[in-house]
Chain A
Amino acid sequence: MFEKIREKYLLNKTQIIEIDTLGNILNSDNRIFNLSGVGQIYDFHPFFYSIESLLSLKNCEQIFYCIHIEHLNVQKSVDVFFTNTESENPILILYDFTEHYTNFQHIAQEKNETVLNFHLEELKTKLLQAEKEFKNKFMANVGHDLKTPLGASLWFINMLEKTELTNSQREAVLLLKETNTLIKGLIDDILDLSKLELGKISLDENWENLSDIIKHIQSIITPKSNQNGLQFTVEFEQNQLPQFIYTDKVRLQQILINLLDNSIKFTRKGYVKLSVKNIEKQKDTAQLLFEVEDTGIGMKITNKNDIYNSFTKLHNQKNIEGSGLGLSIVSNLITLMQGDIHYVTQLNQGTTFSILLPFKTK
């Protein structure tokens, strides 16, 4: 019975080849590979060149693991045992471990791919960072180069404005001034964003009166919303809020004014609202929630974070100005202030931005 089992399961997994010291094949049982008609072992497969130096050595044994051999369309992964005794011709024994090595190959493939993919992701991130840094440096340089002549141009326009002009000349000067101011705003945005992304902006924090900050914002936004026929309201529960917060007033105002400006730009009718709430009041700290809500056109969003990428414009309305830098600046400033920004939006219904910022208070 054993012989039958051996014949069925083991014999076809091994092959014995007898050769002479010149590498000529003398005998082979051809259990794995058919070597009929093959003269020298080197003609069977180039692997066997490696035993050439062993043929002259007597009482020599050597095993070679996991050799992939293809012969007459038969592909196997074998271990090769070589023995050369005093009295016998050199013998080669091939053990077919194809199944075992194939399984091992799958495991190794998975393991190595994980390492290589991780490395690939690291490389991509590095490349993206390098590109971003280049873009920011480029923007900062161009921005600076543009700012000087533009400043001179605005100065001349201001001088021109003070001279005696006809009505049509004055209109032209006003238009010129508006355009220049718009460009200046855009350049300021570019410079701000490039500095933020390069980590070159630090906060200039001081103790500030929260109520004064909100009043200042109100004084800027109210005329703009009136001009657009919108109602602007502020919800500010003074008794629930700290009187003083430790913050960079200019940057906090920049964040809120930027969002409110956006709301006004994208709201045809209805209202724009700013609310300030105290979410978590401790003895010397507070988490304040600023919400900017509008009844505007809303946004059609495919990727929630896309809106914070620079130069992303979420509308195709040509009559609405904007570089697409505003939200990116806002998002970067909030990160710098260790806060969070979220939004909910519904197309043709409106958008609400929520900003949560931590402050030291007194």
Chain B
Amino acid sequence: MNNSKKIVLIGHFGVGKSSLVRRYVQNTFTDNYMVTIGVHIVKKEIQLNQKSITLIIWDIEGKDDIKKVRASYLIGTSGFIYVVDPTRPQTYEHITSEINFITTQYPKAKYLTVANKSDLIEPEEIKRLFDSLQIKIDYFASAKSGDEVSSVFENLAQQLLDNV
């Protein structure tokens, strides 16, 4: 088996986890919201700096508390992408404790925080919002426009490659 790594997207329902995956893997987007139950898993092989890596991307159903996520879904996770919707404060109000949970329970795993739907808010405003709340957001992405979506996955993949 080649170098495969499991990445799990987590966050509240409706923040756009499935849309980010769809944009990254299929380069498509739809405005029609389709709730995810259970988990959809897709595979994507990429090359980074002459190294190949197979990302096994787990798009799991949205939960407002990471502790409610089925533990079996998180077995063997190498990287987490924590997704929030900047227009819905309840999707990021507990992000700090959620990230603490990840780093405590999965100390070897890498993680990135992503504010999706950033096309809905002015870039300066969205940055000011999270700065004022002292929340570190790694990427301001948009599954709709495609902005920064590839960067999110590739950055995490690079961290996983560096971690080997």
Contact = CB atoms under 8 A, between A and B. Distances in A.
8 contacts: A49-B43, A53-B76, A64-B72, A65-B72, A108-B61, A112-B14, A113-B33, A119-B87
B6 interface: yes
A42 interface: yes
Given A49-B6, A112-B14, A67 B35 contact: no
Given A64-B72, A112-B14, 18 more contacts: A40-B1, A45-B41, A46-B41, A49-B43, A52-B1, A66-B38, A67-B38, A68-B38, A101-B37, A101-B38, A109-B35, A112-B33, A113-B33, A113-B35, A115-B13, A116-B14, A119-B88, A123-B87
A302 B63 CA distance: 45
Interface in A39-96: 40, 42, 45-47, 49-50, 52-54, 62-68, 77
Contacts of A49: 1, 4, 6, 43, 56
Given A67-B38, A105-B37, A108-B35, A46 B43 contact: yes
Contacts of A339: none
Interface residues on B, range: 20 to 34
Contacts of A115: 13-14
A324 interface: no
**Interface SS of A by simple majority:** helix
Contact of A109 (B34, B39, B41): B34
B9 to A, nearest CB: 14
Interface of B: 1, 4, 6, 13-14, 33-35, 37-43, 56, 61-62, 70, 72-73, 75-76, 87-88
A125 to B, nearest CB: 13
Contacts, number: 69
Interface residues of A, number: 30
A53 B38 CA distance: 21
B61 to A, nearest CB: 8
A53 B78 CA distance: 12
A52 B75 CA distance: 11
B88 to A, nearest CB: 6
